[in-house]
Structure 1
């Protein structure tokens, strides 16, 4: 059972709790309460082991291929959290004896995990347990753990094993070679792992301090070693009311780290670095290291973003803080060679790969709130150009055809070929997205365009941005297919965002985004030709662009762009969608679990029904409304409303990406009640009460969408071709919203209610913005009274 109200006082709306131990539903809290810092992610499994647990520790960027028939994935490195505890010689588990006052909770404000309970052993002895854990935001390599045990009634003998366990796998796939293990001074443990194929070294070092009644124990532990495992065994005798306290600190280093301070890499250097850092941390102890971590969260995150909501439903504020917490810990802010995985660093789902989720659903938060991280994530895509060009060549195209799934940049396309079972044939389903879901190339171009408009980061464009946009346009030029009968360029045999429609022709989202991508390339080419010819010359010299500009100009105006039907303004999602069979979708619209339609139909059958997995046409309308090509796109209010209500009825939201887009569009057309309802559903994808939603990890794009639905939906923030527009539509449940964004190099703070709006320009550099169709200028603080009617 998940609780949202245990935070009291200054922790009100900061705490997510689990109030009942359920050994068959461990995945929920393991994932949504996972700890991380972008460098690594630690799934929040219990210290004592259980049958259905999933223990994951990931170090970002350490991708490896487990076998020739596998795709590269983020390997599950050695576990440091497991404690095998014995009470009077019997294995401790909450599945035995009696448990009361159980609570497991994530303090979002301090990014600390805590678990506590009172346990009565099968022999009738009563003990109090408390466990704490953090992954440091101050020292990215550090994990801190603490265990507290108090005997409440009887003398008790406690023994526990603690160490480093490399007997881990990714769902059975072993990624590492057997490595060196060693124990120093009977308290410091070190284990080395090396990935089989990519040859990345991982060095893990742990140290321990044991106290009884606040006095450090002098009892020496037993030292143990086995295959892929090294550990210490402590034996402690407690009298009634005695207190046992154990601190365990761990450092993780890899040969891919970009912060190593030695010029020539050797494994020995990495071992010494890991151990030296560990011993320095050990001098400080758990509490001092945790204090530095807590200060980092306050200074870098909470004080920086300044997000406040006054809602009649306090859960809303908790959900927004939950979103910011996870956006922080999933982002590799330390290294621009790494992207964000679809599950963050919370589980093995999607193998740690990056999708279009980043650019369309996650990146906007960083673009508007932390541009340095946004720049890093887009630089990662630049580094992926090598793999994108390779994929284009292998498919007979030119330019940059970005992989549907990306890992380490040079790896290129890493989408698996086979997926879930086909209920009709009994065979694995073919995964077509790696072959024909191609809109990601245009999605990345859009993200760069949005970033440049918001930040005015010309340096990024000169070094990275223009090249990506030009070479994605080159891909699309080679991808277009001339239809003689229609006298237009078509894009055939694709998958759009709606993955329930495979092998379709002229998916509207794809066609319009291609049109935008090529128009953007033309625009930037002409701008550089006039204003920065030296930059353009370097790009032309760097890769073959001699004929590119003329081809873009010749073909872009002839791309087929599906238009609204005259009778109802509905834009065809593709050439055949509006002619497909219609069925009663009530059963699936009201489903408790996603993708239940696959229990009744296989992919081929779903392809023949008017049913949509996630926002497609609506996402197109939302994105292109922010661009300079909006005049070429049917974006009247009548068209928006017609398409919203038509496709909302057809959309099952079987992808977690979907709800936030529908919420934003509902706000835009003035249906604020529906917008709020969709926002709440988006927050419940991971945070809601269902205990089976997040077993494979959190839904990173949905979590980014929570912020988007707030800022772009309810606050109505848009950057339309470089101009800041604000058109608030707060839901009636919200009385007040405050947040900070960055606009062209400086932070600005926005505060709005149903009747007032204020803006504070932090650096006092004059900005211009549009509020409810009126133009304003501000270089300090501006307060505006206004009235509008919620839809």
Structure 2
């Protein structure tokens, strides 16, 4: 049985080369400004280890010749490695791993990675090693490594080599190896004042200078140890060797404190000078760790979730990595939330629609962070407008993959590793990303009541996305409805009809229903604005009455396809063939990449009723079943209470869950019809990264949307919590494995809204304060809770 302390730890015993990539990802430490993978300090990128440090928003654009054409990519840059540190008894061999024994412990409560190891060299000299590592949540430019070395059976001179390595490349994803990997160009390296080690490198497009300054000091029992220091440099690399006296049984501690700065930091001056000042003035490791732990304590108080099940430790791990990827230190950087965190190079560090899963968590915990993400989107509104114009449409067309500029960063070719062929990539046709932005705008407004945000930026985004959908809708006289053609849905497998000569699908149900919702919310946003601001926006956007009337018309007449009483994934879905599931499951134990399997066989998944992940069912993740029925009825379609159950029954056996998001969505949707199945999917989503269920993808970066989604399943799904009509709606649906759930929320200015749910009761309480009371709706009843009040209601 696990102890409560173990639920705040991630621990690994021994050294397993096959598992090292996953461990390095999950043991990463970060603070929203940067994240460093949990690679051993003595390691290099050798096929087993992959050291990596990634700065939020630090991209570089390069081009590569592929198949006779130039392929351009913008990559999140693997920045200089600040970790390198190794040792040897003088005259011996530098320790490069692996250790004779090892234990890794990631302390989630305090944000510290600790490594215990035993090192034995070729002459039988044994040294005990204890290393602690942090990326400061209090001082985001500082990272630190403390190494305690204990000679077990030898005495004599001890040499410690500490380095900064700017020669690293982007080599963390095997399928990208045919593309340009070099992004860093050396600018300066060498020794600085007071024994500091200095390094500066630069990227080319966009140009950015990245500077590091390292301070390495040795002490014994808190007293400085005299050391002889030698410095060695080469292009893009600087190292220093400290030689100290070591005695058997007496530990020597080496502290390496590194400052990281760029010329694009807020209030940036010269980055090398800034890094030098920060590193020289930093406190010792103990001081840095104490203030770092204090900040983590504050974060955990705002993230309190109490639940009685044995996966709570993994849930905390997911929250931990979310808060390392995006924090208060991200707010001033003009960055979005990368789908794979800042933990690796998968998806090139781009921003997708995964923020749809993340922001619903942040809205009710850290609304200031949610707004910063939306501000990132607003600053790229101009790029989205340009993209719409280039497509011959109006409004704003947000890109499926976004990076530094807001242009479309999706690849136009992708490699199938199973066949070795480069294939056309049509994923940029996932126009539903704009609806995700609009949804996030409205949900943030509902959670915070922040009319200033709506007036300043939110409504403008909503209106331009609504305008895009109105412009994209085409009238079909035969059907007497509007259609949206040539798009992809969330499924991603189906990117064309097998009988068509162009990419894209028509009338994807998820896309169309959500477009109808966006058109309605655009009009609601106008109504919510103060009169003067409303008039200003109407004038600025040239949004006249005729266009707004068209929004009403299109929003009520979009085509939504059905077949056999269920929502069709897209128009024509019923014409697809059934896959021989028994045959393929017999021949392929893992069908998550069914698209690659079929392509390698000379076939295409476009021919079959087979989905990578939830598509039409995504509607029931964003909205309650009652709301979905209301949206369909607004469009003129009868929708009974059996629609959800029938739709789930159709798609579930035809979905291979090739995305970690799929388990989250299915856990959510099945809550209303099969709670045991919901819990199974929840457990799958919890295990996705910890057990690398996608087969090698976790080593390339965490799946941040799925991580946030698991927390949100407890926060909103199992409590039945919705935010709409200026009220908190509750309709608990606890699985049998979950007896009680209690959490704290931030809602409409209240930092202390506590919701507790068990089998018999729902309790809502507010801390004392001067805020307005809140409205709560529970299964048809409505009541008000005032600050300082606690309401207990029977189920």
TM-score, L = length of structure 1: 0.91
1:377: which partner in 2?
Answer: 373
Measure the CA separation in 2 of the matches of 1:527 and 1:750: 28
Does residue 1:223 correspond to 2:227, yes or no?
Answer: no
**Farther off after superposition, 623-632 or 78-87:** 623-632
Measure the CA separation in 1 of the matches of 2:110 and 2:592: 33
2:77: which partner in 1?
Answer: 75
**Aligned-partner SS, 1:751:** strand
2:304: which partner in 1?
Answer: 306
1:443: which partner in 2?
Answer: 436
**Farther off after superposition, 493-502 or 192-201:** 192-201
1:183: which partner in 2?
Answer: 191
Measure the CA separation in 2 of the matches of 1:501 and 1:227: 48
**Aligned-partner SS, 1:695:** helix
Measure the CA separation in 2 of the matches of 1:103 and 1:636: 56
Q: 1:46 to 1:768 in 2, by over 3 A?
A: same
Contact 1:62 1:256 in 2 (8 A): no
Q: Give 1:509 deviation, angstroms.
A: 0.2
1:244: which partner in 2?
Answer: 252
Out of 643, 656, 661, the position equivalent to 1:652 is: 656
1:22: which partner in 2?
Answer: 16
Q: 1:167 to 1:623 in 2, by over 3 A?
A: same
1:337: which partner in 2?
Answer: 334
Measure the CA separation in 1 of the matches of 2:211 and 2:229: 23
Measure the CA separation in 2 of the matches of 1:275 and 1:445: 43
Q: 1:382 to 1:628 in 2, by over 3 A?
A: farther
Q: 1:332 to 1:641 in 2, by over 3 A?
A: same
Q: 1:13 to 1:231 in 2, by over 3 A?
A: same
Measure the CA separation in 2 of the matches of 1:61 and 1:693: 22
Q: Unmatched 5+ residue regions in structure 2?
A: 65-70, 172-179, 496-503, 634-638
1:46: which partner in 2?
Answer: 40
2:174: which partner in 1?
Answer: none
Contact 1:204 1:251 in 2 (8 A): yes
**Farther off after superposition, 393-402 or 410-419:** 410-419
Does residue 1:63 correspond to 2:59, yes or no?
Answer: yes
Out of 684, 697, 702, the position equivalent to 1:698 is: 702
Q: 1:588 to 1:513 in 2, by over 3 A?
A: farther
Map 1:164-183 → 2, pairs under 5 A: 164-171=164-171, 173-183=181-191
Contact 1:525 1:549 in 2 (8 A): no
**Aligned-partner SS, 2:265:** coil
Contact 1:407 1:414 in 2 (8 A): yes
2:761: which partner in 1?
Answer: 756
Measure the CA separation in 2 of the matches of 1:733 and 1:21: 34
Does residue 1:200 correspond to 2:208, yes or no?
Answer: yes
Q: CA-to-partner distance for each residue in 1:707-728, whole Å, 9 max, x for gaps?
A: 1211222222112444321111
Measure the CA separation in 1 of the matches of 2:368 and 2:333: 10
**Farther off after superposition, 652-661 or 538-547:** 538-547
2:511: which partner in 1?
Answer: 510
Map 1:470-489 → 2, pairs under 5 A: 470-489=463-482
Map 1:372-411 → 2, pairs under 5 A: 372-408=368-404, 410-411=405-406
Contact 2:86 2:96 in 1 (8 A): no
Out of 660, 668, 674, the position equivalent to 2:672 is: 668
Q: Give 1:108 deviation, angstroms.
A: 0.6
Measure the CA separation in 2 of the matches of 1:720 and 1:24: 47
1:685: which partner in 2?
Answer: 688
Q: 1:591 to 1:786 in 2, by over 3 A?
A: farther
Does residue 1:319 correspond to 2:323, yes or no?
Answer: no
Q: Give 1:540 deviation, angstroms.
A: 2.8
Out of 348, 351, 364, the position equivalent to 1:351 is: 348
Measure the CA separation in 2 of the matches of 1:688 and 1:592: 15
Measure the CA separation in 2 of the matches of 1:588 and 1:106: 38
1:211: which partner in 2?
Answer: 219
Out of 737, 740, 763, the position equivalent to 1:736 is: 740
Measure the CA separation in 1 of the matches of 2:561 and 2:726: 27
Measure the CA separation in 1 of the matches of 2:149 and 2:417: 50
Out of 530, 534, 537, the position equivalent to 1:536 is: 534
Q: 1:710 to 1:470 in 2, by over 3 A?
A: same
Contact 2:463 2:522 in 1 (8 A): yes
Does residue 1:120 correspond to 2:133, yes or no?
Answer: no
Q: 1:225 to 1:61 in 2, by over 3 A?
A: same
Contact 1:387 1:412 in 2 (8 A): yes
Q: Give 1:24 deviation, angstroms.
A: 3.3
Q: Give 1:745 deviation, angstroms.
A: 1.8
Q: Give 1:550 deviation, angstroms.
A: 3.5
Measure the CA separation in 2 of the matches of 1:632 and 1:151: 70
Out of 30, 37, 59, the position equivalent to 1:36 is: 30
2:87: which partner in 1?
Answer: 85
2:780: which partner in 1?
Answer: 773
**Farther off after superposition, 484-493 or 682-691:** 682-691
TM-score, L = length of structure 2: 0.90
Number of aligned residues: 754
Q: Unmatched 5+ residue regions in structure 1?
A: none
Q: CA-to-partner distance for each residue in 1:11-66, whole Å, 9 max, x for gaps?
A: 23000111120123321011111111111111111111152221211111222213
Measure the CA separation in 2 of the matches of 1:548 and 1:230: 62
Out of 457, 460, 469, the position equivalent to 1:467 is: 460
Q: CA-to-partner distance for each residue in 1:305-326, whole Å, 9 max, x for gaps?
A: 2211122x2xx11022112111
1:278: which partner in 2?
Answer: 279
Does residue 1:782 correspond to 2:785, yes or no?
Answer: no
2:499: which partner in 1?
Answer: none
Measure the CA separation in 1 of the matches of 2:80 and 2:626: 47
Measure the CA separation in 2 of the matches of 1:593 and 1:371: 39
Contact 1:332 1:338 in 2 (8 A): no
2:68: which partner in 1?
Answer: none
Q: CA-to-partner distance for each residue in 1:385-417, whole Å, 9 max, x for gaps?
A: 011111112222111000111112x34111122
Out of 334, 351, 365, the position equivalent to 2:361 is: 365
Measure the CA separation in 1 of the matches of 2:784 and 2:528: 27
1:545: which partner in 2?
Answer: 543
Contact 1:17 1:106 in 2 (8 A): yes
Measure the CA separation in 1 of the matches of 2:549 and 2:72: 42
Out of 707, 712, 716, the position equivalent to 1:708 is: 712
Measure the CA separation in 1 of the matches of 2:626 and 2:327: 28
**Farther off after superposition, 329-338 or 709-718:** 329-338
Contact 2:147 2:253 in 1 (8 A): yes
Measure the CA separation in 2 of the matches of 1:627 and 1:742: 26
Does residue 1:431 correspond to 2:425, yes or no?
Answer: yes
Out of 400, 407, 416, the position equivalent to 1:412 is: 407
**Farther off after superposition, 532-541 or 199-208:** 532-541
Contact 2:591 2:656 in 1 (8 A): no
**Aligned-partner SS, 2:557:** coil
1:148: which partner in 2?
Answer: 148
